[in-house]
């Protein structure tokens, strides 16, 4: 039986992992390889690295991070943040990423989703949708949540699925960093709208919140509650499992 | 042990290379017949669509060599590389495969495709799948399978020296590496007994 997935998300700045609350207030928590190994050992099903470096050297730094992690950790790695072209995607995949997550680029050049899916395969194209609920509607935001667009989340999700997106990573900006639960309404709406896997993000404060999300969608992205050690991947998985959600438990030990 | 990972431009071969290196293999990513002949085992990777992959493989001119290698050396196909081992596929348009194992490749019936994520196979351990097509072959060739929305998905197939893995062992954590290691050890045993 297919398992629900727990995916720790690591924000990377200048080659180091940091964390964000409501997209600001960063705090260094360390070395990407060590953190990736830690999460792999604790049962993470995949990892997402979000590059939040602003400098022009960002690309090389991130490639080095991805390459270092891919030599030590053998679970799917997704990289997002600041991807501007098919060439950027190609270099990240060569460095060891299995998937890339596109947000602003996808909104600005939707045809690029199709070109990327044709060239690299749908399986490696994750479309990140930052959603804010305003005036009774779910709007799509770009530029790390700074720029509002006129796109409605459900329409956009259907469109990117048609263009060849392999998965959706949906972040509720209203809930992000608040730790009082996911926006379940948008998850229900999107589940209804598309067949491709959906990863829920933004708002998890405890394992019960994760259960709520995983009763609706395929995967949950976790950041603060893991980094702050409020809970662990193992603990979240056990709670989900007790609530009859199919989860993966690692029994093969490293030798 | 020296593994030739066949380079025919389909998909990301670097993670397969890294995983094989992590279990102690010496890896050459190659389309050079001399290097392929000199290797202890062959690995056929692959991500994408069957017709394009078969066309790319035909263009390398390696098909006759690979067909011969498959009866001489251990030969492992991963994901689309496993599907190419079979006789034909209906993906996109009807296409002839390598025909190393009897059977065909068909679109899965499940309502929600692709089949993406961790699913359990042997010993109830999970491996990472990403695909929408699966193989239809005789029971005798199926070593392990997974269940996706009530549909049986052949996950490991084997016939003679040819092995196929529908999932990505290089992305299936410690268990995935242990499967590659079992394959490696079987190859080494083959070599030690002189077949």
Domain range list for chain B: 2-193
Distance in angstroms (rounded) separating the CA atoms of residues A226 and A50: 16
A252 pLDDT above the threshold of 70: no
B12 pLDDT above the threshold of 80: no
Confidence of residue A24 (pLDDT cuts 50, 70, 90): very low
A148: distance to nearest CA of chain B, Å? 31
Q: Are strands A167-172 and A147-152 parallel, antiparallel or unpaired?
A: unpaired
Q: What is the mean pLDDT of residues A120-149?
A: 93
The reply to whether B170 belongs to the active site is: yes
- The pLDDT of residue A29: 57
Confidence of residue A254 (pLDDT cuts 50, 70, 90): low
Across the interface, which of B15, B175, B178 has its CB nearest the CB of A96?
Answer: B15
- The pLDDT of residue B120: 94
Element (H, E) at B134: strand B133-136
Q: What is the mean pLDDT of residues A208-222?
A: 97
Helix axes A233-242, A207-214, angle to 10 degrees: 60
The string of pLDDT tens digits covering residues B46-84 is 887 899 899 999 999 999 999 999 999 999 999 999 999
B193 pLDDT above the threshold of 90: no
Q: What is the mean pLDDT of chain A?
A: 90
The reply to whether B25 belongs to the active site is: no
B87 pLDDT above the threshold of 60: yes
Pick the residue with more confidence: B189 or A160? A160
Q: Do B171 and A75 touch (CB under 8 A)?
A: yes
Distance in angstroms (rounded) separating the CA atoms of residues A150 and A134: 12
CATH of B2-193, one of 3.40.640.10, 1.10.1060.10, 3.90.78.10, 3.40.50.880: 3.40.50.880
Catalytic site residue from B17, B25, B79, B134:
B79
- The pLDDT of residue A183: 97
B195 pLDDT above the threshold of 70: no
A20 pLDDT above the threshold of 70: no
B155 pLDDT above the threshold of 90: yes
Q: Would an 8 Å CB–CB cutoff place B9 in contact with chain A?
A: no
Query: Each residue of A19-32: b (16+ CB within 10 Å) or e?
Result: bbeebeeeeeeeeb
Three-state SS for chain A is CECCEEEEEEEEECCEEEEEECCEEEEEEECHHHHHHHHHHCCCCCEEEEECCCCCCHHHHHHHHHHHHHCCCCCCEEEECCCCCHHHHHHHHHHCCCEEEECHHHHHCCHHHHHHHHHHCHHHEEEEEEEEEECCEEEEEECCCCEEEEEEHHHHHHHHHHHCCCEEEEEECCCCCCCCCCCHHHHHHHHHHCCCCEEEECCCCCHHHHHHHHCCCCEEEECHHHHCCCCCHHHHHHHHHHCCCCCCCCCCCCC
pTM across the whole model: 0.92
Across the interface, which of B47, B126, B174 has its CB nearest the CB of A121?
Answer: B47
Q: What is the mean pLDDT of residues A84-96?
A: 91
Q: Do A74 and B112 touch (CB under 8 A)?
A: no
- The pLDDT of residue A144: 86
Q: Give the chain B residue whose CA is nearest to the CA of A218.
A: B117
A26 pLDDT above the threshold of 60: no
Q: What is the mean pLDDT of residues A105-110?
A: 95
The string of pLDDT tens digits covering residues A136-168 is 999 999 998 899 999 999 999 999 999 999 999
A68: distance to nearest CA of chain B, Å? 11
CA-based nearest residue to B104, from B137, B139, B143, B58: B137
């Amino acid at each position: 039986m297919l398992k629900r997935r727990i995916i720790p998300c690591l924000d990377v700045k200048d080659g180091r992992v940091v964390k964000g609350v409501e997209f600001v207030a960063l705090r260094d928590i360390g070395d990407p390889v060590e953190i990736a190994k830690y999460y792999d050992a604790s049962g993470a099903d995949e990892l997402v690295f979000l590059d939040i470096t602003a400098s022009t050297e960002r690309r090389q730094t991130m490639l080095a991070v991805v390459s270092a992690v891919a030599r030590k950790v053998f679970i799917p790695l997704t990289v997002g943040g600041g991807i501007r072209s098919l060439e950027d995607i190609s270099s990240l995949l060569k460095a060891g990423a299995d998937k890339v997550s596109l947000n602003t680029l996808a909104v600005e050049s939707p045809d690029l989703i199709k070109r990327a899916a044709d060239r690299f395969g749908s399986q490696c194209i994750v479309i990140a949708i930052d959603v804010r609920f305003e005036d009774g509607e779910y709007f799509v935001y770009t530029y790390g949540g700074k720029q509002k667009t006129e796109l409605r989340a459900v329409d956009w999700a259907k469109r990117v699925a048609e263009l060849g997106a392999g998965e959706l990573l949906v972040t509720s900006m209203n809930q992000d960093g608040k730790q009082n639960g996911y926006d379940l309404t948008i998850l229900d709406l999107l589940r209804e709208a598309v067949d491709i896997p959906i990863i829920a993000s933004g708002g998890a404060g405890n394992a019960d919140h994760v259960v709520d999300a995983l009763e609706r969608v395929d995967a949950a992205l976790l950041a603060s509650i893991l980094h702050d050690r409020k809970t662990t991947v193992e603990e979240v998985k056990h709670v989900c499992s007790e609530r009859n959600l199919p989860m993966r438990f690692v029994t093969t030990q490293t030798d | 042990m020296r593994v030739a990972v066949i380079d025919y431009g389909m998909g990301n071969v670097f993670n397969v290379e890294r995983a094989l290196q992590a279990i102690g293999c010496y890896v050459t990513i190659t389309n050079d017949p001399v290097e392929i002949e000199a290797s202890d085992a062959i690995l056929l990777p692959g991500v994408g669509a069957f017709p394009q992959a078969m066309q790319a493989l035909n263009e390398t001119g390696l098909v006759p060599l690979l067909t011969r290698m498959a009866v001489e050396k251990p030969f492992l196909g991963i994901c689309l590389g496993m599907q190419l081992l079979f006789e034909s596929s209906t993906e996109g348009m009807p296409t002839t495969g390598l025909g190393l194992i009897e059977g065909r490749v068909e679109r899965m019936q499940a309502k929600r495709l692709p089949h993406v994520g961790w699913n359990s196979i042997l010993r109830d351990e999970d491996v990472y799948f990403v695909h929408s097509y699966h193989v239809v072959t005789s029971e005798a060739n199926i070593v392990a399978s997974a269940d996706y929305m009530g549909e049986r998905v052949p996950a490991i197939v084997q016939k003679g020296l040819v092995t196929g893995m529908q999932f990505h062992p290089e992305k299936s954590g410690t268990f995935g590496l242990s499967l590659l290691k079992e394959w490696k050890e079987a190859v080494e045993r083959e070599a030690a007994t002189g077949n």
